[in-house]
C-alpha cells in the first residue's frame, strides 16, 4: 500500500509540474514517467520518456 501511494505521488507530481529544466537540458518535451519503489531497500527507479530520442540518434527507442 505504501509502495502504491509513493508511486502515485511521484506520477501525480510530474503530471502537474513538467520538469522544464530537464526538458531544456535534453532539448525534448517530457511525455511520461515510469517509476518503481522498493521501500525495503530504500530505492527508487524513475524512467523519463521524452517526445524523441535524446541520445543523438534517430531511433525511436534506444539505450
Write out the DSSP string of 8-30. HHHHHHHHHS--HHHHHHHTS-E
Q: What length is written for the chain?
A: 63
| pLDDT score of 2 | 67
pLDDT in tens, 25-58: 999 999 888 888 887 888 888 888 898 888 877 7
Give the torsion through C-alpha atoms of 56, 57, 59, 61, to 10 deg: -40
Could you tell me the pTM of the whole model? 0.66
Asked if 53 and 31 count as a contact pair (C-beta separation under 8 A), the reply is no
Amino acid at each position: 500500500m505504501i509502495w502504491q501511494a509513493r508511486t502515485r505521488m511521484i506520477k501525480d507530481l510530474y503530471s502537474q509540474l513538467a520538469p522544464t529544466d530537464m526538458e531544456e537540458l535534453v532539448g525534448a518535451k517530457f511525455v511520461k514517467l515510469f517509476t518503481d519503489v522498493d521501500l525495503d531497500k530504500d530505492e527508487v527507479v524513475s524512467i523519463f520518456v521524452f517526445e524523441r530520442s535524446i541520445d543523438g540518434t534517430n531511433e525511436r527507442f534506444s539505450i
